[in-house]
Structure 1
Amino acid sequence: MSPLSVMRRVSLGLAAALVVVLVAGLITTVALVRRPLPSLNGEFRVDGLAEQVDVIRDENGIPRIYAHNTDDLFLAQGYVHAQDRFFEMDYRRHLTAGRLSELVGEAAVAPDTVIRTMGWRAVAEEEWEMLDPTVKEYLESYTEGVNAYLQGRQPSQLALEYTVLGFSVEVEDIEPWHPVDSLAWLKAMAWDLLGNYSDELQRAAVFGQTDDLEMVEALFPPHPTDRNLPILPTDAEYEAHAAARETNPDQAADDGEDAEVEDADAGADGGAGALAQLDAQEAVEFALSALTAVPHALGEGDGVGSNSWVIGGEHTASGMPLLANDPHLGVSAPGIWYQVGLHCVEVSEACPFSVSGFSFAGLPGVVIGHNDHLAWGLTNLGADVSDFFLERLYPDGTYLHDDERLPLVERREVIAVNGGEDVAINVRSTPHGPIISDAIHQTREAADTPLPEDAPPMGLAGFGVALSWTALEPGRTAEAIFAINTATDAEDIAAAAALFEVPSQNIVFATTDGDIGYQAPGRIPIRADVADSPVPSDGTWPRPGWDSRFDWQGFVEPEDMPAQTNPDEGFIVAANQPVTGPATGPFLGVDFDYGYRSQRIRDLITAQIEAGARLTAADMNAIHLDDHNPYAEVLVPVLLEVQMEDAFVAEAVELFEEWDYRNAPDSAAAAYFASVWVNLLNQTFWDQMPVTDRPTGGSRWLEVVTHLLEDEDNEWWDNRATLTVVEQRDEILSLALRDAREQLTVSLGKDPQSWQWGRLHQAAPLHPVLGEQAPGPIRSFVNPDPQEVGGGSSIVNATGWDASAWEGGYPDYSVTTVPSMRAVADLADFDASTWVSFTGNSGHPAADAYDDQFGAWAAGETFTWHYSRAAVDEHEADTLTLIPAH
């Protein structure tokens, strides 16, 4: 459930109230929407400051903060974040504490229940107690700055959202910020970037639908390492990749990987059989249902990921490294990132910060950016850091573990509901974690699922699903942020990575000494290889909680995590593909992105190097915008071979004959191909999969279809809805071509030459409170105008869309995930670096900086990333001077 869906239920009441406001007069309305706008110029006294702080904003409203000590620096960052984004901060702290119902009412009871069950806030409170004292001081200073801005201001002076919410629920005085509010946000980040939890449950759910292990395994093919290289390839993998390219660019995985799958099948058969025999399928489905209720503040689905790459000076025009990054996150207004510069006037051991980049409102420091010596980028590593444990539960409040019944740990939580009755919940846990399957009221039926007749005679039992997740143990990730902010070399990055426990991220970096590198951080569970396991022991399926052999055996040591500095080829690409091949390094998991984006980036860089080019920041931005469609490369040659006698459909198929496989916004072929693809997934999979697990169309589904195309009689091609017909591959392809032609004729017109991908595929950021069902004038005010964009899922220009989303019998191609920012750091001259954010830096709809970057983002343009004081002063638009109150 997205923040939009949580808020949607209160929108109708808000809309009616806003009509009243509009009727009351334009002057009143203007006053209400402009009242929260902060003062960006002038001199203000601020409690807690020791010395003067200057906040210089450029023409895009991006602040650079100059302070004489770290306490003042982070105090000012908290003040500035609260000026521009406080409602977003307040929303996030209510979300992460499981208190969203206090803010918006009963619409949020379900997500609050699941988050309280997981206990995000409680974990953050434990983390606060274990932090380094210096980092605690930074967080306390940040908190002091937030509260200094809140002091004396009514909710309506902080954000328009409070005024609107006040028409349907009670808006109380704003409670002060607390350092734990910042730490708890790390849990939401970790949740949205969690690796394979949905794949793990989907395997079990699809097996329950098909009762066929081979069909399930076909949906989770091995990574094609011979075609799409990992982040850190070995010499052997380079050679296999080169050989595959020479013989057949589109060939499937090699025999070695296929053999590996056969071995996994043997174990998985036992696991799948156990799930069916134990009748635990219902508990698994309940767990999945509960987890879908959690709002995704950063975005959701397989489009959540990132591109990053770093190129050494031997391949650049300046002779110094270039680093590029574009995290793929959800579509929102305002955008997810807050751009900022944090500068000690004199950098010293006591005040070591001079850093610029992208931050999260509510969290001090810079998450992605550069300092005087080093630039870094982040992408989701996708390591398997969670497992679901099937637990045998008994009515007397016990669970089974190694033939012993032990008491469940229980706690009571009370959810306060704005405008409604409090809701009390009972949270049960085992050492494996909280019982997720009874997180929502109706899922508590899971405890009534009976054991089979051959179960041990220990009394009536049922099943629950517990979640083990590294983020549910306290850690020191907050310390890692400040450590990276002051890092100068690979050794510093490694030290920071040892603290960066969750979410597990790929770190690419470059230094002004000319080094480039990669570092994998994260707390990665070690799973025992259970030789006689009735279920797979690699974390790909739910695990039997009653057998201690499946318990985690500790965590990978930080020094054993993959890392590399200055590789021979002179560049590194990390775009959510596996870090290493299956036989190299510690086991990090198997459910990674299938590497089509990463390999395309590698190919583009390699082509320029082989052509003798020296790359520039402009070349990096061009790679960001690459819209080559790997799906088309695989599927179009097969589609063109399908015998199509219907002239009406053949007219559309002709679009593919001269297509360059680019998903440009004005491409007719791209529009038709997207429709064929979504209909192909529909015709092939929908009849044999649970509704909640229908194909979303990401890179895994491209790999699945790539394999199926070579097996014309595979069971997945058969549509079980046609009882007397067994369909084969070409029949399904013909149906997809026909359905796509008919659908686009309705939506885009009869002439295929007039079709355009951008008319279907639009980025439309919505305000989470007022964005959908408010009156038209309000929607127009808070929602930036939609932009037609190119790109698509698993394309470097990763404007993802969900192939399982249909409305009114037609696919919905709307953009669901986007490059939330695009940045290039030039280590030769930081002032020559570039950046752009999805919408803008302000969270106030009436502010110019609310959406002033959106048009440039959609057009593929960037802004200069001013860093030096001279460049900042040259582009000064507003200056806020903060001085001590006493």
Structure 2
Amino acid sequence: MRNLLLRFAALFGLLLAAAAVYFGSTWGGGLPALRGGLTVQGIGGEVRIRRDQYGIAQIASPHDNDVFFGIGYAHAQDRLWQLELQRRLAQGRLSEVLGRDTLRLDAQMRTLDLYAAARTDWEALAPEARASLTAYRAGINAFMAASTSLPIEFNVLGIRPEPWTELDSLAWSKVFALSLANNMGSEITRLLAKPYLTEARETALFGTPDRSSPVTASGPERNDGMAALHALLGQKQQLEQQLQIGGQFVGSNAWVVSGKLTDDGRAYLANDPHLGLQIPSLWYIAGLQGDHLHASGMTIVGLPVVIFGRNQDIAWGGTNMMADVQDLYFERINPANPRQYWHDGAWREFAIRRHEIRVRPDFPVALREELKPVQVEVRHTVRGPVVSDAFGLSDQPVSLRWTALDPGDTSYEAFYRLNYATGWHSFNAALRHHAAPALNFLYVDKQGNIGYLGAGKIPVRAAGQGQVPLDGGAGDSRWTGYIPFEALPRSFNPDKGYIVSANNRVVDDSYPYFISSDWAPPARANRIDQLIKSKVQQGKPLTQRDLESMQIDTVSFDAARLVAILRSTPMATERQRQAQAHVARWDGNMAAGSPAASIFMTWSRRLRTELYGELFKAPLGRERETDLLKGAYMGISHGRLADALAPGNAVWCTHDRTGPRSCDAIVRRALDTAIADLDKLAGSDMDGWAWGKIHHAVYAHRPFSDVKFAKWLFEKRVARGGGPDTVDVSNTAFREAEGYEQTFGASFRQIIGFSARDVVHRYINPTGQSGNVFSTHYDDMVQSFHAGQYLDETRRATVDELVLTPARPGSAQSPRE
């Protein structure tokens, strides 16, 4: 994709900058009409779409399905290009518009065949859930039928949006589930790393190895199977880097506090899901008011219901449970018939699905010959698709079992029912339908109750925990079922008066089922717990402002242990001692103005390379494996780094203060390279090394962030604080010329307080409501979000109102005064 779009830049970039002014002032930039009236097909009564000064839409109608029509219409008005891009991603059709650079990604999505799974999901949904999706589809298509101009992305790429379908919505929900499932990458990383590690190092890096699973390989044999694993892991990393789908410890913060602990007696919910940063946001704030439907909060573009928010009786939020819901399998091929694989004691035929991927020629398209469509043949087993077929590696098939591909997934119905839930019982009943992704749901209601429920299908394995790819032909590698819904972890009104979820471990060793070995480090959960406890122990009630401050807290809970190690290490040069002194007096706050935070983050990044990098160097000719293995250690938490350097731990370095592998020498070398990095990025004056100077949140636009001369208009960058283990999380990628670019973090913030008398509802999106670069609502929340400000739902003022009325049978859609 990058190469194609850079070619666009050579001829098109300057023209785009000039055209932006022209289109925005004369053509309207594809902006929709937000006021007046329109007669439309597909509704039974009047629908009012009211927007406030930030473009936040409130949809009202006497009929619930007409409300779903209205939110479809509003999504299309504000996010039409996003809908098109999301659909093409789910379908594996990006190459039709973005060219050959997205071909492998399209091939991978074709192997998953999300639409085949979505068709079985549609059949499993209750009639009322189906009807809501049908109404939503009709709303999107009604806008497209009425629109006279399109957002600039369509015009530049020379395409028009296709009609939306119910399956588009269901397939997109599976892409969302994919972004929260990291198990496949973890399995591959563990297997690739194993030959480089002693047993003690393997345990220190990944936890206790699962020795009850069937053994699949003793090491990285040079065969087609390992090549497939390399390709799969590389493609997964590309998904994370280019499209912000997935990543290590993808998760969220959420906590609930009983009214017994608050100053106003309200039970509060705070939630901020962590996902890849992009513009426009994945989320769209909306209120839905119908006959029985009274919900508000965060909708996902592509679905008609509130995903995290409230109704008149309850509020709910969520975090990633980090459950292990994916397994990879090496399939055994019949030597006499390569179209057969071994399963359950017999050879079985692969099911074959053939896909054709059309590819856009390079720019300028008019001067290029049309490219021949690429044919992809995908084999399927009883476990799932052979995902290695995306790369043309056929000798050793690698298949994937994933809960989101199991037939009859009713996860959409779970969220539909949550919008109507009235209490703890109906909340549980709704989530009985949830399958993927496995989530932690936090709960409050107007009676002041608080609760937690883990929901989703989590496999029960015949043997082991599926921590590495398995032998598909072995009977003990199969899934035997799922954890029963009644046995999923839950809590209701605990004595301590609060519940915290930050992707940390949710059960103790007494729990009878395996959920995960990939829990996020506990630093965020510990910090949230610490902040709540400090108020309780002082006898002070928690306030709404306290909860807001907690969501933007930038203190690293685990930094103190690592700082103590740096402080106690003897230094050899004046520059080392100067940097050491900055960090030694630091309080662990990763504030944007802190030079110590810059030193700490850069030193800890270099420390990972010094401590682990030499151990993961592949033999000559396998350099790609070395790059892939960085994923095994570059995300190591500050707590794990402190463990590795702790006195008495000689697993990674020695404590004799001599030799190249002494812990002290490693600490000093890492500090030297960190100082050199910061000299290049921020100058030689350490007092000027403010963290926000070299650390920016980057909200990338697809595809124009990859076009040099368009990037300035479409992409947004903000200096900021925070780190990978702070409550206000910031996972970053280091760029030599740019510094630290945050590509992953809070995707919204929301706080809801319930009592029997009233409700408090405050929220903020990181970018804006509109995906149209010419709209004032494209980025009007960016600065407020990073300043820790919120919008109050109860203090909204209507600025624009569009009224949709039903067209008479046989008449066309038309505007009215």
State whether TM-score is above 0.5.
yes
Aligned-pair CA distance for 1:800: 1.6
Q: CA deviation at 1:211?
A: 5.7
Length-normalised TM-score, structure 1: 0.84
Instruction: Give the direction of change, closer, same or farther, for the CA distance of 1:663–1:293 in structure 2 (3 Å limit).
Output: closer
Cα pair 1:831 1:864 within 8 Å, conserved: no
Give the TM-score normalised by structure 2. Answer: 0.91
In 2, distance between residues paired with 1:61 and 1:23? 27
1:761 equivalent to 2:756? Answer: no
Letter in 1 for 2:541: R
CA gap of 1:266–1:127, structure 2 versus 1, over 3 A, is closer
Amino acid at match of 1:199: S
Tell me the amino acid that sits aligned with residue 667 of structure 1. Answer: S
Contact in 2 for aligned 1:712/1:730 (Cα 8 Å)? no
Pair 1:563–1:814, CA change in 2 (3 A): same
In structure 1, the residue corresponding to 2:740 is in which secondary structure? coil
Corresponding letter in the other structure for 1:203: R
Q: 2:749–2:763: 8 Å Cα contact kept in structure 1?
A: yes
In structure 2, the CA distance between the partners of 1:203 and 1:845, relative to structure 1 (3 Å rule), is same
Query: CA 1:7 to 1:140, structure 2 compared with 1: closer, same or farther past 3 Å?
Result: farther
Work out the CA distance in 1 between the residues paired with 2:134 and 2:121. 14
Query: Where does residue 340 of structure 1 map in the other structure?
Result: 286
CA contact (8 A) 2:255 2:501 kept: yes
The 3-state SS of whatever aligns with 2:218 is: helix
Q: Distance in 2 between matches of 1:197 and 1:815?
A: 24
Asked whether 1:430 is paired with 2:363, we answer no
Aligned in 2, Cα 1:876/1:25: closer, same or farther, shift over 3 Å?
Answer: closer
Counterpart of 1:801? 732
CA contact (8 A) 2:212 2:465 kept: no
Aligned partner of 1:885 in structure 2 is 807
Report the Cα distance in structure 1 between the residues aligned to 2:357 and 2:440, rounded to whole angstroms.
Answer: 37
Contact kept, 8 Å, 1:562 with 1:585, in 2: the verdict is no
Partner of 2:69: 75
* CA deviation string 1:339-384 (max 9, x = no partner): 000001xxxxxx3210000111111111110110101101111101
Select the residue among 205, 214, 218 that pairs with 2:200: 214
Does 1:381 find its partner at 2:321?
yes
CA distance in 2, matches of 1:834, 1:423: 49
Q: Which residue of 2 aligns with 1:287?
A: 232
Q: Which runs of 5+ in 1 are unaligned?
A: 1-5, 222-260, 345-350, 448-462, 530-536, 719-723
- Structure 1 stretch displaced more, 573-582 or 391-400: 391-400
Match of 1:851 in 2: 779
Structure 1 residues 500 and 710, CA gap change in structure 2 (3 angstroms)? same
Q: 1:201-600 residue pairs with structure 2 within 5 A?
A: 201-208=188-195, 210=196, 212-221=198-207, 261=208, 264=209, 267=212, 273=218, 280-294=225-239, 299-302=245-248, 304-344=250-290, 351-394=291-334, 396=337, 397-401=339-343, 404-419=346-361, 420-441=371-392, 443-444=393-394, 447=395, 463-474=396-407, 475-529=409-463, 537-600=464-527
Contact 2:254–2:442, Cα closer than 8 Å, also in 1: yes
Output the CA distance in 2 between the equivalents of 1:122 and 1:268. Answer: 30
Q: Which residue of 2 aligns with 1:64?
A: 58
Q: Aligned runs of 1:609-758 on 2, under 5 Å?
A: 609-689=536-616, 690-695=626-631, 700-710=636-646, 714=650, 716-717=652-653, 726-758=660-692
Q: CA deviation at 1:10?
A: 2.1
Shift of 1:627: 1.0
CA contact (8 A) 2:95 2:101 kept: yes
Distance (whole Å) between structure 1 residues aligned to residue 445 and residue 142 of structure 2: 37
> Does the C-alpha gap of structure 1 residues 698 and 624 become closer, same or farther in structure 2, counting only changes over 3 Å?
farther
Per the alignment, residue 164 of structure 1 pairs with 156
CA 1:211–1:318 in structure 2 vs 1: closer, same or farther (change >3 Å)? closer
Partner of 2:812: none
Superposed displacement of residue 216, structure 1:
2.5
Say if 1:92 and 1:202 are closer, same or farther in 2 by CA, change over 3 A. same
User: Measured at CA, do residues 393 and 360 of structure 1 come closer, stay the same or move farther in structure 2, by a change above 3 Å?
Assistant: same
Q: Which moved more, 1:277-286 or 1:432-441?
A: 277-286
SS at match of 1:341: strand
Determine the C-alpha separation between the residues in 1 that align with 2:405 and 2:103. 21
**Percent of aligned pairs sharing the same letter:** 30
Deviation at 1:217, TM superposition (A): 2.5
Change (3 A) 1:330 1:418: same
State the alpha-carbon separation in 1 of the partners of residues 17 and 599 from structure 2: 43
Is the 1:21–1:28 contact (alpha carbons within 8 Å) kept by the matching residues of 2? Answer: no
The one-letter code of the counterpart of 1:430 is T
Residues 553 and 23 of structure 1: CA distance in aligned 2, closer, same or farther (over 3 Å): closer
Q: CA offset at residue 518 of structure 1?
A: 0.3
Structure 1 residue 744: Cα displacement: 1.0
Q: Name the amino acid aligned to 2:694.
A: L
Relative to structure 1, the CA distance from residue 652 to residue 51 in structure 2 (aligned partners, 3 Å threshold; closer, same or farther) is same
Does 2:136 match 1:105? no
Alignment of 1:1-150 (within 5 A): 6=1, 9-14=4-9, 16-20=11-15, 27=22, 30-32=25-27, 34-150=28-144
The answer (yes or no) to whether the contact 1:593–1:699 under 8 Å persists in 2 is no
**Secondary structure in structure 2 of the residue aligned to 1:800:** strand
Secondary structure of 1:68's aligned partner: coil
Task: Tell me the secondary structure at the aligned position of residue 376 of structure 2.
Answer: strand
> What amino acid maps onto 1:148 in structure 2?
A
Q: CA RMSD in A?
A: 2.4
> Is the alpha carbon distance of 1:305 and 1:839 closer, same or farther for their aligned partners in structure 2, counting shifts above 3 Å?
same
Structure 1 residues 365, 402: CA separation in 2 closer, same or farther (over 3 Å shift)? closer
Cα drift, residue 436 of structure 1: 1.5
Partner residue in 1 for 2:811 = none
Amino acid aligned to 1:727: R
Q: Deviations over 1:399-437 (max 9, x none)?
A: 233553332222211112234321111101221211122
Q: Structure 2: which 5+ residue stretches go unaligned?
A: 362-370, 617-625, 809-817
Alignment check: 8 A CA contact 2:191 2:219 kept: no
> Residue 698 of structure 1: CA displacement?
7.6
Deviations 1:639-659 (A, max 9, x none): 111110201221111102211
